Amino acid sequence: MNFFILILILLFTSCDFKPRAEGVENQIHVVVSFEDFSKVKTIIDSIFLPEILTPEPESFFELKYILAEDFDKIKNYHNILVLSILDIPDSTGDKLIYSFLPKNSSERNENKIFSKRDVFARDQVFSVVYGKDFEDFKNTLIINSKWIYNKYFNFYRDRQEKHLFKRREQHDLSNLIFEKFNWKIRIQHDFTLIKEDSNNNFIWLGRAFPFRWLSFNWNDYNNKLTFENLNLDTLLNEYSKFYNNDILFLKKYRNISRDKIGNFDAIKLEGLWEHNSDVKGGPFISYFFYDTNLKKLFHINLLVHNPGRKKLPSLLQLEIMSKTYSSKLK
């Protein structure tokens, strides 16, 4: 009998019985006392609201500041960040923080920032940051700014990937590309094949509302060529021919970084595009990588046009599709 009681207890206390997280998936609820708010806001905004030109400035996240005494009202939301500066006296934020901290004072001094998933609800990121004074708090965040941002961004990205392929997926189109060219990606259900040019090794996928393009070009490459030898300006300018020379990739506001496409190292180039004759434009991303299975240099290009509305979520969905790339060893 005791065994069955134990099983029931384990079942009813398992994560599966926590409620699903509520609210907007890219909104972070920042829980802080009234006394600490003016000190923490600037640094929190700088970490979670970096501006990306689309061309209008956008950020992936929205921040909603909540007083510590209202914590119970939002504890089941997707993204929660609890903050406190301990030497600024208050009766709410510090009390809330101490309820999450280890009892041992030496452990409290060592771990002033931590993050966990599914604390109060499923599909939730919950984090705590505190400091004995403002300088201690600020230094902890500066040192860990990228880490704490990625805790929320990576989980947001994972949720977007689940939504992206949740309804239907275009397996037939993906398999058709694979049979012809020995590479494939996962394709969301409402994308269509706009153009296939086998002579020039070019595939163009797209959808509307909002307007999104995802295209691929691949060519033989010299295996002694390195990323540093690639002339990205030339590759981008030449790529415009695939869009009937209607698209201009602007040189201003570009950002270059390293990334991965599938299992391959890649160069990621972000910037803005505009139409040569129409009043259109928006953000683009180009990925350049060597597929060592196929012995090809690939260029994947992502374009979004969504005037007056958010563009980063659509761009992220294109990135997610791109990163499902895989190929067959010849």
* Percent of the chain residues past pLDDT 70, beyond the cut: 91
- Residue 223: what pLDDT? 66
> Average pLDDT of 52-81?
96
Strands 202-207 and 296-305: unpaired
Residue ranges and CATH numbers for the domains of the chain are 12-163 (3.30.379), 168-327 (3.40.1000.10)
Nearest to residue 52, comparing CAs of 254, 303, 317, 261? 254
- Residue 1: what pLDDT? 42
Q: Per-residue pLDDT tens for 175-193?
A: 999 999 999 999 999 999 9
**Does residue 151 surpass a pLDDT of 90?**
yes
| Res. 141 pLDDT band, cuts 50 70 90 | very high
- Residue 240: what pLDDT? 94
0.75 exceeded by the pTM? yes
- Residue 108: what pLDDT? 58
Its sign, for the CA torsion 138, 143, 144, 145, is positive
Q: Per-residue pLDDT tens for 84-133?
A: 998 877 777 777 887 877 666 445 566 799 999 999 999 999 999 999 99
| In contact, 49 and 94? CB cutoff 8 Å | no
| In contact, 100 and 82? CB cutoff 8 Å | yes
> Average pLDDT of 50-72?
95
Q: End-to-end CA distance of the chain, in Å?
A: 61
CA dist., res. 199 & res. 207, Å (int): 24
Q: Per-residue pLDDT tens for 219-232?
A: 998 766 677 778 89
Q: Per-residue pLDDT tens for 21-49?
A: 999 999 999 999 999 999 999 999 999 99
- Residue 152: what pLDDT? 98
**Does residue 55 surpass a pLDDT of 50?**
yes
CA dist., res. 186 & res. 324, Å (int): 6
- Residue 3: what pLDDT? 44
- Residue 227: what pLDDT? 75
Average model confidence (pLDDT) for the chain?
90
Q: Per-residue pLDDT tens for 259-273?
A: 999 999 999 999 999
* Percent of the chain residues past pLDDT 90, beyond the cut: 78
H/E stretch holding 11 = helix 2-12
Q: Per-residue pLDDT tens for 296-313?
A: 999 999 999 999 999 999
- Residue 103: what pLDDT? 64
CA dist., res. 193 & res. 202, Å (int): 11
- Residue 94: what pLDDT? 72
> Average pLDDT of 13-23?
77
**Does residue 8 surpass a pLDDT of 50?**
no
- Residue 7: what pLDDT? 42
- Residue 9: what pLDDT? 47
